[in-house]
């Protein structure tokens, strides 16, 4: 099996440098065009299944990339819930909530909050997704459309990276393929998208 893993196209809040989490903002025109380019680059790939986060920005991207496929939406693939960080601007958040922000990026295994998820909970969701949809599948080509932090969690899951090193796989660029091979119970990362130049959630 080959797994084509991509982050959704650019959104209004990505462009404004605002935290999204499980709140949504629409794709920008550039984000739509990103997804259209991805569709063009994968036009010769027959996707047996297309899985998406149940958040609209991911679903909209999946519909553009794979217009002829049924989109299977699941909350297992949604972005990390960052509680009251959602909707706030990165440049003010790091000052207004410096301690938690620093913990999130520098000591990810210690990050937790009452109004959202820990990174352990995101990793658990990813594991459940793979156990439920991928590990026993006979599909040859699968498309997964998800989010920045969730894709980091997926790459960490397949590469068996400890949560204390969570950010070893940085958040990757919008609408660009990562390619993972799954065969005989083993994962191999064939390609990683370029890293995103700025922090994003």
Task: Please report, in range form, the residues annotated as the binding site for substrate.
Answer: 7-14, 57
Q: Is 46 helix (H, G, I), strand (E, B) or coil?
A: coil
- Asked if CATH classification 3.40.50.300 holds for the domain at 2-191, the reply, yes or no, is no
Q: pLDDT band at residue 195, thresholds of 50, 70 and 90?
A: confident
Q: What is the pLDDT of residue 198?
A: 65
Asked whether 141 and 1 are in contact (CB, 8 A), the reply is yes
Rounded Cα–Cα distance for residues 42 and 156 (Å): 25
Annotated binding-site members: 7-14, 57
Q: What is the pLDDT of residues 41-86, one digit of tens each?
A: 999 999 999 999 999 999 999 999 999 999 999 999 999 999 999 9
Confidence (pLDDT) at 128: 98
pLDDT averaged over every residue in the chain: 96
**pLDDT value, residue 149:** 97
How big is the CA angle at 148 (ends 106 and 166), to the nearest 5 degrees?
Answer: 30
Q: Is the CB of residue 159 less than 8 Å from the CB of residue 187?
A: yes
Cα pseudo-dihedral 49, 153, 167, 21, rounded to 10: 90
Which of the pair, 170 or 135, is modelled with greater confidence?
135
Give yes or no for a contact between 20 and 201, defined as CB atoms under 8 angstroms apart: yes
Determine what percent of the chain is predicted with pLDDT higher than 90: 93
Q: Is the pLDDT of residue 173 over 90?
A: no
| Per-residue confidence band for 196, with pLDDT thresholds at 50, 70 and 90 | confident
Q: Cβ–Cβ contacts within 10 Å for residue 179, how many?
A: 15
> Domain spans of the chain?
2-191
Q: Per residue in 81-130, pLDDT tens?
A: 999 999 999 999 999 999 999 999 999 999 999 999 999 999 999 999 99
Task: Provide the token pair at 113.
Answer: 């909050």
């Amino acid at each position: 099996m080959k797994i084509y893993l991509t982050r959704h196209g650019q959104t209004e809040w990505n462009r404004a440098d605002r935290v999204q989490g499980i709140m949504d903002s629409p794709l920008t025109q550039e984000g739509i065009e990103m997804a259209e380019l991805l569709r063009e680059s994968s036009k010769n790939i027959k996707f047996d299944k297309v899985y998406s986060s149940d958040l609209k920005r991911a679903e909209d991207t999946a519909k553009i990339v794979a217009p002829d496929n049924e989109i299977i939406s699941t909350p297992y693939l949604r972005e990390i819930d960052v509680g009251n960080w959602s909707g706030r601007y990165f440049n003010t958040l790091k000052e207004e909530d410096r301690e938690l922000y620093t913990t999130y990026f520098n000591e990810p295994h210690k990050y937790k909050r009452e109004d959202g998820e820990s990174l352990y909970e995101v990793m658990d969701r990813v594991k459940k997704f793979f156990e439920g949809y991928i590990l026993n599948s006979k599909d040859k080509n699968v498309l997964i459309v998800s989010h920045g932090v969730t894709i980091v969690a997926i790459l960490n899951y397949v590469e068996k990276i400890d949560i204390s090193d969570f950010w070893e796989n940085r958040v990757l660029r919008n609408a660009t393929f990562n390619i993972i091979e799954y065969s005989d119970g083993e994962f191999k990362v064939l390609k990683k998208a370029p890293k995103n130049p700025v922090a994003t959630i």
